[in-house]
């Protein structure tokens, strides 16, 4: 299939968004690339939004969009939900402050809610982001097992630091054999030490994974994984069952990074869908109600390593000569367990308890509608995903099971489609997955399908 009209779609994009263009140019003088998270950048320049309401975003040129990016999945209630606004206002008014700097009631309230929904998370600690959560979970795994390496799967993302920013999106030519991938650094400035100390595994390939783990079991403290790769490529049930079994046999901890899937696959995350009990879990995104948060939880005896003792305070100079600090796993953070954010998170869960099924049914409706439109035009594609997240993968392949399968998709056609959709008011960052929210209703879904129909007519 040939891709025509790319320049036409992008030219139309530029015609509709002149203020975004000049804003981006100004932003480039202040921030490298004009962005403060590289993921927010795309060619020719990103759209600058200035208002959000419910399912909609409005850019500085006055264009309206139905939002399916939803801040990379964080906003499962859409933009500015009035009950979240109310919860935040109440917390600040009732407590009289934004931050106590001490333990407080909402830490326990949220903790109890998390334990109820995620029974594997017997104890928890709060962090300020998903990145910090995976960082802490990995330190806990090293402390508990005494082993120095970790393993992760090719194509899985766990944050931007050296230990895990490996083989997330490697060029296949540099990525080694499919059944024993090489560890490929994804950034300049990374310490090559981690290319040796983070073992990369092939997702959904139990035999090859088991073989690598068996050979390296004495070094590997934990496997960290996205149960659903990139939020949309599901692990097969037999793979999950096998992985849980072999990690137990080899004394390797299993960390489910549910920063994307937590609350989005079900209130109890991927672990409730697969019926698997990981040793540690990390959460983020949805649980912050749109504010920065992370949670690490898991088995009590693993978490307990971070319980302070009377002689373990790193910041108390009177204790510097004592050995206690070294016996405790250090974890700290000025904003950990931020009351305002926990109030927003608790209110989010409450709404999802009533409305999550609506999100799933709208997601299914949109997926089926898109599939039908592609089928009508004779283009092979799949909507890949579970729960409230999916991706549109244009491919002749029967099934997308892992990173290497995904690399064979028609990215050029997908990008072209995305620009046509943007020009018609359907927002996701080009090439990104779709995340749905409680505020997506029949109206938004049918409007989106109309846009797809128009875009497909222009494409082929």
Ligand X SMILES: Cc1ncc(COP(=O)(O)O)c(C=O)c1O
Residues that bind ligand X (CB under 6 A): 72, 129-131, 134, 157-159, 226, 257, 259-260, 284
Residues 317 and 331 sit within 8 Å (Cβ to Cβ): no
Q: Which residue is nearest to ligand X (CB)?
A: 130
Nearer to ligand X, 158 or 401 (CB): 158
Least Å distance, CB 157 to ligand X, is 5
Least distance (Å) between residue 98 CB and ligand X: 20
**Closer to ligand X by Cβ: residue 79 or 152:** 152
Q: Which is nearer to ligand X, 137 or 206 (CB)?
A: 137
Asked whether the CA dihedral 398, 399, 400, 401 is positive or negative, the reply is: negative
Residue 269, phi-psi category: left (phi > 0), alpha (psi -120 to 50), beta (remainder)? left
Indicate the burial class of 94 (C-beta count within 10 angstroms; 0-12, 13-18, 19 or more).
exposed
Identify the H or E element spanning 233. strand 233-234
What residues contact residue 58 under an 8 Å CB cut-off, 6+ apart?
49, 50, 51, 52, 64, 65
Residue placing its CB nearer to ligand X in the complex, 135 or 343: 135
The minimum distance between CB 266 and ligand X, in angstroms, equals 16
Q: Which is nearer to ligand X, 133 or 400 (CB)?
A: 133
- Cβ atoms of 363 and 390 within 8 Å: the answer is yes
**Quick one: how far is CA 123 from the chain centroid?**
22
Residue 426 C-beta: closest distance to ligand X, Å:
22
Q: Decide: 296 and 124 in contact? Cβ < 8 Å.
A: yes
Show which residues are catalytic: 157, 257, 285
Measured between alpha carbons, how far is 318 from 330 in angstroms, rounded to an integer? 18
Task: Please give the Cα distance from 77 to 446 (Å, whole number).
Answer: 19
> How far, in Å, CA of 86 to CA of 348, rounded?
11
Q: How far is the CB of 407 from ligand X (least distance, A)?
A: 19
């Amino acid at each position: 299939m040939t891709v025509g009209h790319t320049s036409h779609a992008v030219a139309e994009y530029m015609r509709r968004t002149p203020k975004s263009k000049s804003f981006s140019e100004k932003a480039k003088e202040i921030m490298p690339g004009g962005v403060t998270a590289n993921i927010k950048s795309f060619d020719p320049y990103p759209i600058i939004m200035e208002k959000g309401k419910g399912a909609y975003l409005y850019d500085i040129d006055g264009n309206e969009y139905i939002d399916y990016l939803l801040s990379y999945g964080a906003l499962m209630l859409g933009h500015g939900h009035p009950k979240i606004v109310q919860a935040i206002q109440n917390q600040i008014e009732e407590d009289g402050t934004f931050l106590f700097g001490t333990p407080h009631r909402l830490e326990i309230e949220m903790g109890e809610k998390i334990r109820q929904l995620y029974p594997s998370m017997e104890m928890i600690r709060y962090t300020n982001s998903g990145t910090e959560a995976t960082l802490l979970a990995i330190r806990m795994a090293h402390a508990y097992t005494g082993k120095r390496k970790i393993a992760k799967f090719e194509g899985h993302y766990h944050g931007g630091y050296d230990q895990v920013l490996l083989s997330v999106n490697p060029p296949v030519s540099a990525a080694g054999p499919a059944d024993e991938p090489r560890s490929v650094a994804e950034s300049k400035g990374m310490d090559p030490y981690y290319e040796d100390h983070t073992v990369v595994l092939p997702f959904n390939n139990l035999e090859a994974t088991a073989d690598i783990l068996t050979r390296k079991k004495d070094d590997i403290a934990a496997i960290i994984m996205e149960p659903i790769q990139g939020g949309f490529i599901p692990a097969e049930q037999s793979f999950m069952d096998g992985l849980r079994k072999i990690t137990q046999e080899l004394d390797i901890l299993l960390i489910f990074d549910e920063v994307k899937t937590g609350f989005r696959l079900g209130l109890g995350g991927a672990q409730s869908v697969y019926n698997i009990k990981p040793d540690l879990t990390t959460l983020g995104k949805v649980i912050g109600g749109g504010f920065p948060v992370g949670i690490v939880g898991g088995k009590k005896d693993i978490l307990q390593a971070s319980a302070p003792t009377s002689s373990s305070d790193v910041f108390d100079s009177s204790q510097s000569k004592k050995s206690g600090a070294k016996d405790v796993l250090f974890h700290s953070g000025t904003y950990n367990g931020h009351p305002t954010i926990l109030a927003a998170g608790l209110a989010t869960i409450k709404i999802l308890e009533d409305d999550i099924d609506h999100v799933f049914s709208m997601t299914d409706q949109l997926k089926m509608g898109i599939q039908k439109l592609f089928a009508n035009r004779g283009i092979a594609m799949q909507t890949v995903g579970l729960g409230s997240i999916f991706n549109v993968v244009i491919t002749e392949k029967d099934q997308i099971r892992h990173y290497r399968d995904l690399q064979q998709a028609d990215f050029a056609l997908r990008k072209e489609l995305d620009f046509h959709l943007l020009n018609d008011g359907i927002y996701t960052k080009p090439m990104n997955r779709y995340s749905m929210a409680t505020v997506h209703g029949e109206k938004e879904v049918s409007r989106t399908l109309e846009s797809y129909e128009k875009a497909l007519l222009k494409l082929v």
